[in-house]
Amino acid sequence: MNTPAPAASWDAKLDRLAEVAVTVGLGLARGQELVMTAPLDAVPLVRRITEHAYRAGALLVTTLFTDDEATLSRYEHAPGESFDRAAVWLQDGLAAAYRAGSARLAITGANPALLAGQDSGKVSRANVAFSKASRPALELITRHEINWTIVAAATPAWAKLVFPHLPEDQALAQLWEAIFRTTRIDVPDPVANWRAHGAQLQSRVKLLNDKRFYSLRYKGPGTELTIGLADDHLWCGGGSTAKNGIAGFPNMPTEEVFTTPHKDRVDGVVTSTKPLSYQGTLIDGICVEFKGGRIARATAKQGEAILQSMIDTDEGARRLGEVALVPHSSPIAQSGLLFWNTLFDENAASHIALGQAYSTCLIHGDSLSKTDLSAKGANESLIHVDWMIGSGELDVDGVFANGESVALMRRGEWV
Ligand code: ZN
Ligand code: ZN
């Protein structure tokens, strides 16, 4: 009889998460610098990641911490003109670091509902100011000039939102376990598991790319939608190789395959299946009608004012920049949890994103000018906001240019 190995301790799992983030997620190369951003509560993970990064040969690790209480203090005490401000110098510095070859690791975990009670006008002005300031750095990220990844750390405020009925320490422990499980850390060999998972997603990507669909057709409760795919669209997923030649996984966890929709060929009605946490505010029960690719009507049961100001950010904020397919059997969907965090929730369900398209999801997209990208149907915007439209009741068909179609998903699962 085999004696089961004792369950790994929290410390051991935290260390494995850090190791997987550095070696598999970032693929950090000897001689690279690393820029990390993290909430204050993520210090234990930051320290594990820093050690693994130096062990992997990082020349310098620089971490920028954010603090929820300091953010709230701004909303409570700062003068009105504060909300059109962003630290342009800092964002320019980040862009300079990426141009010089630094890798980028973001730890997510801030309270998703931090700004829920704040003035929506201030929130959206601050968001616009931040989006504008971070544009140069974000472009380097979305063009995948460097290797980057996002991982999560459980924090007390986030845990309270996910497990509202548990005492704080139990909620925090449960959220950590959920992160370890869905990020595939809680397995005997997480590195090998990640490589196998990536290979499986890549075979799905190849299959979809071979089909050259003209559009996707969605049918589910509150949803009857056709999404045209951009000319020369490329399906992506299962990790990617940055322009610096380094292969990694930009999101941990990741369960999606995704591509670029055509910004002018989206028609019909779509209803969200999970709440969306948009920069500190919750938006729930979204229902949107598209005509010729553009949002003609948008409502939400909760957070509608924030939704309206989000889609008013610029012309591209009313059009789609990403379409992603995720089976309902994904470990995140199966956890049955609502994480209130896009990194997790977007990997629980098929989703679409309003705003900026990824040029990497087009054939030779990186070498195309803005005009060429636009001509192929790739959208441009200051925002990129994913929201969930998948469920165990969603059917998706792939439609060819000649009008014939094949079933891709039935009741949320791959056919
Ligand atoms: Zn996505
Ligand atoms: Zn996205």
Q: What is the CA radius of gyration of the chain?
A: 21
Q: How far is the CA of 358 from the centre of ligand 2 (A)?
A: 9
Q: How far is the CA of 390 from the centre of ligand 1 (A)?
A: 12
Q: How far is the CA of 60 from the centre of ligand 2 (A)?
A: 29
Domains and CATH numbers, the chain: 10-182 (3.40.1830.10), 207-414 (no CATH)
Q: How far is the CA of 60 from the centre of ligand 1 (A)?
A: 30
- Those residues whose C-beta lies under 8 Å from the C-beta of residue 206, and which sit 6 or more positions away, are none
The Cα 324–Cα 389 span in angstroms is 10
The Cα 352–Cα 229 span in angstroms is 12
Q: How far is the CA of 253 from the centre of ligand 1 (A)?
A: 11
Q: If we measure between CA atoms, which residue out of 181, 150, 187 comes closest to residue 26?
A: 150
Q: Is 80 exposed, middle or buried (0-12, 13-18, 19+ CB in 10 A)?
A: exposed
Please measure the distance between the N-terminal and C-terminal CA atoms of the chain and give it in whole angstroms: 40
Closest ligand to residue 355's CA: 2
For residue 261, is the peptide bond before it cis, meaning its omega torsion is within 30 degrees of 0?
A: no
Q: How far is the CA of 346 from the centre of ligand 2 (A)?
A: 8
| Tokens coding 343 | 């990194």
| Tokens coding 209 | 């790319």
Block mean pLDDT (10 aa), the chain, length 415: 65 97 97 98 98 98 97 97 97 98 97 88 91 93 93 97 96 97 94 94 96 98 98 94 95 96 98 85 93 98 94 96 95 90 91 94 90 96 93 96 97 94
Q: Are 158 and 41 in contact (CB under 8 A)?
A: no
- Provide the 10 A C-beta neighbour count for residue 390: 29
Q: How far is the CA of 235 from the centre of ligand 1 (A)?
A: 11
The pLDDT of residue 149 is 98
Q: If we measure between CA atoms, which residue out of 56, 347, 46, 23 comes closest to residue 191?
A: 23
- Those residues whose C-beta lies under 8 Å from the C-beta of residue 148, and which sit 6 or more positions away, are 26, 103, 104, 105, 106, 141, 242, 248, 250
Closest ligand to residue 254's CA: 1
Residue 174 C-alpha from the chain's centroid: 22
Q: Are 343 and 106 in contact (CB under 8 A)?
A: no
Helix (H) or strand (E) holding 103: strand 103-108
The Cα 197–Cα 180 span in angstroms is 15
